[in-house]
Amino acid sequence: MKCTVALFSFGLASKPRQQRNQGVTWKKPGSTGTLPPITVPLKKPQPWVQVVGHAGSFHAGDYGMLLKRYTEGEQQCLQRLMEDSLRPFVPGYHGVVQRAEQDYNMMDDLLTHFNSPAIMDCKIGTRTYLEEELTKARERPQPRQDMYEKMVDVDPEAPTAEEQAQQAVLKTRYMQWRETLSSTTTLGFRIEGIKKADGVCNTNFKRTKSREEVMQALQDYVGCNALIVKGYLRRLKELRLVLETSDFFRTHEVVGSSLLFVHDSTGKTGVWMIDFGKTVPLPPPLTLDHRTPWEEGNREDGYLWGLDNLIDVLTDILPHLT
Ligand SMILES: O=P(O)(O)O[C@H]1[C@H](O)[C@@H](OP(=O)(O)O)[C@H](OP(=O)(O)O)[C@@H](OP(=O)(O)O)[C@H]1O
Ligand SMILES: Nc1ncnc2c1ncn2[C@@H]1O[C@H](COP(=O)(O)OP(=O)(O)O)[C@@H](O)[C@H]1O
């Protein structure tokens, strides 16, 4: 999907976001109304921007909140994360709300405190589908036409003769193809989408694979600004330290989760873990180190290996920046 800009908030208040807060007018308490009202111009509110992901899953809420279509698995993860040492690295979670008969997980909008932010979504890990999806695909294969079409759009030669005959591919096959086409297999992370401060959005990274191509895309994203990269590196190294001791992380297979990078022209930077739709608890006493290569059955996801590589790549671009 293309970047989506939400101009209006959803449901929590009756007026659209753009119409409220453009300036606040009030009277002095107890005044007779003879004093002219004081008008305080407030900063223009920022529209929430979705860089990638499922269309129609989100609604921008009020008061810096974001509503994401409810799934029980994601709710469980967000709830557990609020009690874990990873809490500062995930959006604050505020429970389930219902709007127009649909349940949503309500969380902090991570863009709130930035001014015209640049945003990047990086999917972390060497595997983007769950082991249970692989088992299901073997037991009850359900070839998908939509994924065949997405595949052919990128590379008409990619489907096998059998897939061409069926005009359909299995989801796991599509996901594996996406992993090897991009840097997921070789670096353990891939750029999914970037929105720059000028509003220009790029989700065309499916073939961004080599270390050099990834470095180029990252350099472009940070506008060759070394301070921004240093800010990101500090945060990523802190995250790595916390991940290495987090109970939540040790006991969960983290698949398809992204790091959301945000910075603005003031030099402010932030990185958070998002998307726990395919993060599942492991059967005790199984734990993961997130660096051991995946073999079917070991449940390893390559998350920390990918983070190590991302930190290395960002460190390598520093000498090229001003
Ligand atoms: O990015 P493209 O190539 O379009 O492929 C998408 C992403 O892999 C989605 O993962 P994510 O949500 O992590 O971005 C995945 O959703 P799942 O998370 O459900 O696996 C979609 O599966 P379907 O929703 O089954 O189409 C798949 O079609
Ligand atoms: N808490 C958040 N704050 C701000 N933006 C977010 C937040 N969560 C998700 N997004 C935006 O939505 C996009 C998709 O999020 P994600 O959770 O991965 O959705 P999906 O499960 O549909 O893939 C991200 O790339 C980002 O732009």
Q: Taking the domains of the chain in order of start, what are their residue ranges?
A: 58-126+188-320, 132-181
C-beta of 194 in contact with ligand 2 (< 6 A):
no
Residue 1 confidence (pLDDT): 52
The CATH class of the 58-126+188-320 domain is alpha beta
| 157-171 pLDDT, tens digit each | 999 999 999 999 999
C-beta of 91 in contact with ligand 2 (< 6 A):
yes
CA of 152 to the centre of ligand 2 (A): 26
235-253: average pLDDT: 98
Which ligand lies nearest the alpha carbon of 77? 2
Atom 7 of ligand 1: nearest residue by CA position: 53
3-state DSSP call for residue 166?
helix
| 112-142 pLDDT, tens digit each | 999 999 999 999 999 999 999 999 999 999 9
DSSP state of 295: -
User: What is the pTM for the complete model shown?
Assistant: 0.90
Q: Which among 50, 51, 54 is the best mutation to test ligand 1's pocket, defined by most ligand atoms within 8 Å of the CB?
A: 54
Which ligand lies nearest the alpha carbon of 122? 2
Model-level ipTM above the cut of 0.95:
yes
Query: Count of residues for the chain?
Result: 322
Rounded distance, CA 223 to CA 321, Å? 9
Distance of alpha carbon 111 from its chain centroid, rounded? 12
User: In the chain, helix, strand, coil percent, each to 5?
Assistant: 30, 20, 45
C-beta of 258 in contact with ligand 2 (< 6 A):
yes
Per-residue three-class SS string for 240-277:
HHHHCCCHHHHCEEECCCEEEEEECCCCCEEEEEECCC
Indicate which atom in ligand 2 lies nearest the CA of residue 58: 12
C-beta of 50 in contact with ligand 2 (< 6 A):
yes
175-202: average pLDDT: 97
Rounded distance, CA 161 to CA 151, Å? 14
Which ligand lies nearest the alpha carbon of 51? 2
Is residue 14 predicted with pLDDT exceeding 70?
A: no
Atom 16 of ligand 2: nearest residue by CA position: 275
| Confidence tier at 281 by pLDDT (50, 70, 90) | very high
Which ligand lies nearest the alpha carbon of 274? 2
C-beta of 57 in contact with ligand 2 (< 6 A):
yes
Residue 73 confidence (pLDDT): 98
Extract the tokens encoding 200.
């220009």
